[in-house]
Amino acid sequence: MLDLTQAYTGCPSSSLQFLHLPRETLLLYPFADSVVVLNARTLAFIRALAFWEVFPSTRHLAHSVQCLTVENGMKLVVASLGHRVVAWSLSGPRNDYWRVHSSLLLPEDQHVTAINCTSGLLAVGTRSTLSVYTLILENDLPTWSLKWSFTVPSLSRVRFSPSLMYIATTSLYDNMVHIYLTTTGRKTQAISHPRPVTDLIWRNSPSSSRDDPILYTITTDATLRIFLPVLDAPQYLQLHSALDTFSSLPFSVASRENNSSVFRLDREVMNAALKSVLAQAQTSDEDGRRRRIREITEEGWDVFLRVLGDGSLVVQAVANIDRRPPTLLKQFTLLQTASGALPSPPAHLYIVPNPGRASLTLVTAPPLKSYELAILAFFDACADGLRLQASGAEHADADAREDSRAEVVRFMRTPNGEGVGALRSDGCGEVWNFDWAKTGRLERKGQWVASQGAERVDHFVVLDAGILLTLHTTPPATLHAPSIASIFALSPASHASLYRTLIGITASYTIVAISATISGPSPSLVMLSESLLPLPTSPKMILPVDPMAWVGQYGTGTRGVAQVHDVLLSVSGEGELAFWVPESGLGYHPPPKGEVNGLSGTSEQKRGREGHTVSWKCTGMVRTGRTGFSMARCSSAKKSVLVVPTPEGAELTIWDSKESEFALGLEYRALLADAITDLDWAATPDGQSLLAVGFAHRVELLCQQRATYFDSTPGAQWGVCWKVDLGPLVPHPISDSIWLARGTLLVAAGHQLFMFGQRREGLGRLEVEADERTKQDESLFEHVARLNGPLDEYHPQMLLQCLLWEKIELVKSVIVNLARNIETGRDIHDWESLPIEKFSQNDEEARATNASHRPKYSQLFDIPEQKDDEEDDPFSPSVVKKLLDSLEEKPLPHLTPSENASLLVLIQTALEIEEQRRALDPNGLRYLISMRSFYILNQRASEPSTPASPSSGPAAPRQLTRRERLRYRDMIWAFHSDSQELLLSTSMAACGGKMCWPDARALGVFTWMRSADAMRAHMEVVARNEYMAGDLRDPTACSLFYFALGKAKLVHGLWRQAAWHKEYQVMLKFLNNDFKEPRWRTAALKNAFALLSKRRFEYAAAFFLLGDSLKDAVNVCLRNLSDWQLAVALARVVEQGDDGPILRDILNGTVIPLAFKEGNRYLASWAFWLLHRRDLAVRILVTPLQDMASAVDVSIVEIGDPHYDDPSLALLFSQLKSKTLQTAQGTSEISGRTEFNFVLQIARVFCRMGCHVLALDLVRSWSFQRPSTVMRDSRATLRSPSPVSTRFALEPALRHKSSILIDIDVTTAPPTRRASPSRSPSRGGSPLRSVEKEELKLNDEGDLVARKAGIGSLIKSAKQDVKVPEFDMGAFF
């Protein structure tokens, strides 16, 4: 999804080193202060080994790693920088763990110029010495011990022979090759060459029994010389053959060839690959192609490759090198390819194995490229014998070897993200163009060098994918401006425009507008204006709004109307965010004649500044309440992120620009222990925002994840959707990260640049051979859309909401359509969806539509043609069963296991609803769905979790946590249901028929049951199950419930059967007394207090009930057991109803304060309903909690988060607001604007949940009508009274009800509100909104007056008609 597609680690300027592993070959070369490790075949970046990890003082030195050697046997990598030497070792079962092996510190004047390591021996050549060290263990630590050291000329190369008997060296200042003995350091021979030597290679001959030294040398004239030992003097090497251009080409061709390179192909690598090809099965047409390969293998030829100036390859072979006498050497040409096989003769060429493949890898540098060499095709001179496999990030131009060795400090991109500039610590920089369409890579367009005497670059801007740097152009364009703290470019209306607008922010927060002309022979800059934002106080920050979501800030919209987007974000010291757009002035650009180049345009600058001023308009404000923030950024969708340092860590908050009394704007808050170093926003094609949060060694990507109905904290949730961890790749800390186009992330760490994005076929795609994981085709944007985009119609969350909102017919249609799509066997992307009109129909309309398609009768006794049930009713048990079997066998893609399980349950529930439509009301259905989902989620949470995700990759999905109970939101549906008997039996079945008290508390049974007789009967069931639970049959487990029911004698009988219990005799004797007598009740109370001291709280509560002290028993439940549900159950059963004083004390003293503390409106609504304050039960669903706290007669100490992000609030409000006269009175206390904003908030919640069609249906069908009197026709008074007429007229919102319950004493109805709702003082205010707020206040007050007058008339009408006449059968005759 988001993989490392390219690492920009510089171009190797010296020879390459290779570390051969069983399954791959690693390529290493020095760059800056590190050693870069790549995969030799794919050139994929693996690791950077930093020199400063061992010697921290070298971190910011201008010097670079100079020498590098690899010891394959011990897997050692040895590098030098100045007079320091460091060795790393590779270990681990998968060869992926690098650690520092050892180090060596030489005298400061001995800078290392050559190094070689073999079998525990280290040869170090400096400017004046040659030394050999041996590896020993000193205090269990590997240490290099000096063996010998001699003074020699400054060395450029040093090589151990395969037998470790000799050392060959070359010098920087002569053409000699010196041979030394490894044991003593004595020089044995000096071999002169006509040209400088560019390479030394000792020939290793493991197949030969001889241990003679054989040396190859290559000089600058592309001549390879072969030196063999003399027969009578084995230590003395003699020239026996030379391969030059004339030995491989005709004289006429060779005489014109002046640019070629020659290389030796490693004999061991060649033989291993050739033998693997010969071992494969042979076809008849391959016999001729294999003959040459067989000859090379059997004859033991040494193969050499020459690259000519036109890119053609000449393969030469030398035979009989292992034979004696050496005069038998034969050299000949094997083949010559056509021109263009390679771009040009490289300075370095190597051949490395491909484990498990019938091919080799050819690596060249510079430029760094890898080729796949197909052995059969190559030696048969076929065109496809050599194919480009991968290429390095750097180009082969002249400046590729002159890469800056300074670390990257900061990035700056173009508005569209297709160009980026990098500024380095030494003042140098470069500009890159991101060619995402063709290559998917960064292409360097230019660079600048901070020359001596030049001013240091502090801020820069990149225009149009690397076309122009404002401070470095050719020729340069200069402009005198105030001291600018930050600068950025606005995206143009058209890329063909000749002008670009720059916005600079000064240290005093003055906004400087600059026009840049990018056409003509020379660029120019013109000052447009200097302006200030119309703020009462100076801001603490002014930042640009990220423009990546649109092509240009002033792009032409429909009908030629310019679409204006926010440009600036200001942050005040009090944390108030303000968004700004320019109203005028930025459209001005000077005429071409008035170009200002250099310092010659002062008058034009003044005219542009005086004649055109920019005024700024505020488009929105958000009050965050945060102060002391250190970082802030704003996305295209006006999502703002703030970072505030706190003692506990960095607080990261994300704010939405839409603020109301129902949404404070805060969408995400997290305390992060690690320091945040960078923030950057990206925009997806569907307008979502993606935030990259940079830390020292990782970047976390946060996206807005879809809210679910069963979230612990309802609302818009942001979460980490992906992690980019550079810790295993590079030790340097991340200096900056920035988004480019198409969801590509560019990260800078040290000197290297790392680009993460979607992998592309054919562009050096990395092949993961270790585990052969499945290819990930999903892009980052697709992943984000799947986490937060609109849901499919068959998604369980969509079905769940449809069922909750009584769209049963729609759910049936969705299920039938899903079954049809699965039966077709088509790809999921080709499935047909229901028309959107279906989602706007209620059940009555949907049934009417379905009935219209049924067969019509033309005669009275017509009998329609018999059809199958499936044809008559597509939603049938057989169809559902078949669909369930199909989904269990093959779950739907992109659904988690929990979502698939929920989908199966919802489909089954829909079928049961259809079968029990008349027995189950909508509220009962809602409770049933919630209960089943509760058990499913708990079952999923109890399953073993999956292994942790890797450091770089997708973040772990939301961890399911086991819940102890249903949410109060789910319990209240059962409380308002008329199918409680069916719900109780269903709840019993969900508990396996044995509901104990933990099950009853989890399902809230004693909170939602309304019948006192049913509660008593069910408490007896719970008591019996508590007693029967387990094998011991302990009477103490059920005593509390039986004593609440007044059945002490029954408990006494149970104790008769508990002879095993240690309290058997005592309890049997004590319960034999009559507890109606005061003295035995007092004895029970004393025992209860004794049990409290022993912390046997539940048993103590039982004895309090036995002593007839319900209040004490309830207090034990509340204070010691922290179980208010148990207290409520005892009070409702003992007091035999909901009007007892103990229950009222529990509700007022515990439940309501708890509801306010947790911000749980459902719990508060339930409590107010039981207290017969049903007006408050409705108002609490919509009114801010601060206002409600002042309206209730309960002491509210703490008020929690409001939790408005729940669509069921609107569902419950719509159901209760006109249910009774009390609720109608409470509804009238809610202003129309408040209700309007409430509905909009719920619609946004639907969108966050992915149910966009339901949000549309909500705003389309919501009714804002309130109960009030209706103007009657005066002629109605003349009509005779009708026995079926209503006692008082209601608005249409209530006329569809069969009746409205009069649940208040209308003669003395008190007001339900003390004051009109007002915005909380803690929310603050802004001078910019004073007028608007005053106007809204007046409108709201007028609206409230009208509604209160309406409900007053309604109550007045009820007062007149409150006396209901007796029923008289004579009225019907």
Q: Could you read off the pLDDT of 806-843 as tens digits, one per residue?
A: 888 899 999 999 999 998 888 888 898 888 888 888 77
Per-residue pLDDT of 1270-1324, as tens digits, reads 444 444 433 444 333 333 334 444 444 445 666 665 444 455 444 444 444 444 4
Which stretches within 1161-1251 are classed as H helix?
1161-1170, 1174-1182, 1185-1191, 1207-1216, 1221-1228, 1232-1248
Residue 493 has a pLDDT of 66
pLDDT of res. 1325: 45
Distances (CA, A) of 599 to 318, 478, 526, 812, 1159: 70, 7, 11, 76, 64
Higher pLDDT, 74 or 599: 74
Question: Which range scores top for mean pLDDT: 276-285, 288-297, 443-452?
Answer: 288-297
301 phi, psi to nearest 5 deg: -75, 145
Please report the pLDDT score of residue 555 as a whole number: 38
Per residue in 464-508, pLDDT (tens digit) is 644 444 445 556 667 777 778 888 888 776 666 777 888 889 888
> Of the ranges 160-169, 471-480, 665-674, 1024-1033, which is most confident?
160-169
- In this structure, what are the phi and psi dihedrals at residue 386, rounded to the nearest 5 degrees? -130, 120
Q: What is the pLDDT of residue 284?
A: 64
> What token pair was written down for 1331?
């007028």
pLDDT-derived band at 853 (thresholds 50, 70, 90) equals low
Confidence grade of residue 316 (pLDDT, cut at 50, 70, 90): very high
- Say how far apart CA 99 and CA 91 lie, in whole Å: 8
| Banded pLDDT at 259 (limits 50, 70, 90) | confident
Q: Report the pLDDT value the prediction gives residue 1218, as an integer from 0 to 100.
A: 81
Q: Tell me phi and psi for residue 1292, to 5 degrees.
A: -55, -25
Report how far residue 394's alpha carbon sits from residue 391's, in angstroms, rounded to the nearest whole number: 8
Pick from 750, 690, 760, 708: nearest CA to 726: 750
What tens digit of pLDDT does each residue of 138-167 get? 888 999 999 999 999 999 999 999 999 999
pLDDT-wise least confident of 109-118, 395-404, 876-885, 1318-1327: 1318-1327
The per-residue pLDDT for range 1197-1212, each reduced to its tens digit, is: 888 877 778 899 999 9
Paired tokens of 467: 């076309």
User: Cβ distance 228 to 240 under 8 Å?
Assistant: yes
**pLDDT tier at 1022, thresholds 50, 70, 90:** very high
Q: Residue 1364 has what pLDDT?
A: 43
Residue 48 pLDDT greater than 70, yes or no: yes
917 vs 152 pLDDT, higher one: 152
Radius of gyration for the chain, computed over Cα atoms and rounded to the nearest angstrom: 42
Nearest-angstrom CA–CA distance, 601 and 399 = 35
**pLDDT, position 846:** 73
pLDDT bracket for residue 217 (50, 70, 90) = very high
> What average pLDDT is seen over the chain?
81
Q: Residue 1343 has what pLDDT? A: 58
* Residue 805 per-residue DSSP state: T
Least confident of 30-39, 240-249, 260-269, 710-719: 710-719
Q: What is the pLDDT of residue 1314?
A: 46
Query: Would you state the structure tokens that stand for residue 279, as one six-digit string?
Result: 């071992």
Least confident of 135-149, 324-338, 594-608: 594-608
- Cβ–Cβ < 8 Å for 1213, 1293: no
pLDDT above 70 covers what percent of the chain? Answer: 80
Q: 981: which strand partners? A: none
Percent of the chain with pLDDT over 90: 40
pTM: 0.81
Residue 208 binned pLDDT confidence (cut-offs 50, 70, 90):
low
Q: DSSP character for 905? A: H
Mean pLDDT throughout 1074-1092?
92
Q: Who has greater pLDDT, 1192 or 288?
A: 1192
Compute the CA torsion angle 1096, 1098, 1101, 1105 (nearest 10 deg). -130
Q: Which pLDDT band holds residue 1362 (cuts at 50, 70, 90)?
A: very low
- The C-alpha angle 915, 918, 924, rounded to 5 degrees, equals 90
How is 38-81 classified by DSSP, letter by letter? EETTT--EEEEEEGGGT-GGGTT-S----EEEEETTTTEEEEEE
For the ranges 401-410, 612-621, 1282-1291, the lowest mean pLDDT is seen at 1282-1291
Least confident of 557-561, 1205-1209, 1215-1219: 557-561
pLDDT in the model for residue 788 = 86
Cα(316)–Cα(279) distance, integer angstroms: 24
Q: How confident is the model at residue 1188 (pLDDT cuts 50, 70, 90)?
A: confident
Q: Measured at the alpha carbon of residue 1116, what is the angle toward residues 1111 and 1122, in degrees to the nearest 5? A: 125
Whether 488 and 498 have beta carbons less than 8 Å apart is answered as no
